[in-house]
Amino acid sequence: IHIVRDPAALVRSNLNLWKTLDQDQCFRFGTPELRKEYVLNAHERMYAAFDKQAAEVPPERLCHVRYEDLAADPTAVLSRIY
């Protein structure tokens, strides 16, 4: 099961996560620009790895689920998956 999310929302969420970790847990990440660069690079690496691995999975064994759909109606999405 591969959960996908609107890329802009995903980046905003991750930037907020790292900002919060920086403030609350004393992670010293540097400037907001460095956080943004890190998040964008991490997403690029993550999706490159996913694409490579997904190519090895038979299509009938891979299910893409939109996060927004799951959040809006989890019962319907889960019934579609299972």
**pTM reported for the whole predicted model:** 0.71
Angle at 17 between CA 11 and CA 18, to 5 degrees: 95
The pLDDT of residue 65: 96
The overall longest dimension of the chain from CA atoms, in Å, is: 44
Residue 5 · residue 67 · CB < 8 Å: yes
Angle at 41 between CA 72 and CA 52, to 5 degrees: 75
Task: In whole angstroms, give the CA distance from residue 64 to residue 40.
Answer: 22
pLDDT digits (tens, 9 = 90+) for 7-50: 999 999 999 988 888 777 777 767 888 889 999 999 999 999 99
Q: Dihedral of the CA atoms 12, 15, 21, 22 (nearest 10)?
A: -140
